[in-house]
Chain A
């Protein structure tokens, strides 16, 4: 399971295009290392979001993780990042 966890990650190209599209100035570039590290940061962000909503669903005894569970954990998640 741990091995499969490691496999699922954002692609370097996706991250680099995503961030470059948000830059205000055209001349700002992203180095390769930075793109790889940002892919990791985003992966951690998504994993936190999913694990925390799962915990919330668990505490409410729900079998399915629903939108209200995510809504409840969202404020703290955004404060942590």
Chain B
């Protein structure tokens, strides 16, 4: 592996580590339990490797449907193993679809509203 891809990988790991530690700290605060630094590093590393598995699955699912672009449907397949997660992702995906429809409708209107606000 070249040094360039190595560096991006390190950066990605750092980004994952940062978000993981924030989520853990947030959880720790609400339950008054601290996470040791090792745990946070271990969760980050696990998440990173889990991403590898997810990515390979997504790619395989997309190819199975003769697509080269991974879509929301493929993500739903990744989450198929637990019912709770499937429902959660299903809801999120519907929310996303609704938001996008709203955005399409309101972009024109919002612009005119913004200019009105400026005048006030």
Chain A residues close to B by CB (< 8 Å): 1, 4-5, 8-11, 14, 17-25, 27-31, 33-34, 36-38, 40-47, 49-51, 53-54, 57-58, 63-67, 69-71, 74, 77-78, 80-81
Report the contact-size class of chain B (Cβ under 8 Å from the partner): 35 or more
User: Which chain B positions have C-beta within 8 A of A37?
Assistant: 72, 75-76, 89, 92-93, 96
The answer to whether A67 and B36 touch (CB under 8 A), given A50-B24, A54-B28, is: yes
A70 touches B72 (CB 8 A): no
Distance in Å: Cβ of A29 to nearest Cβ of chain B: 5
Q: Give 18 A-B contacts (CB < 8 Å), ordered by A residue.
A: A4-B26, A8-B22, A8-B23, A10-B15, A10-B19, A21-B55, A22-B56, A28-B59, A28-B63, A31-B69, A36-B92, A41-B75, A42-B50, A46-B47, A47-B27, A53-B35, A63-B34, A70-B43
Dominant secondary structure at the A interface: helix
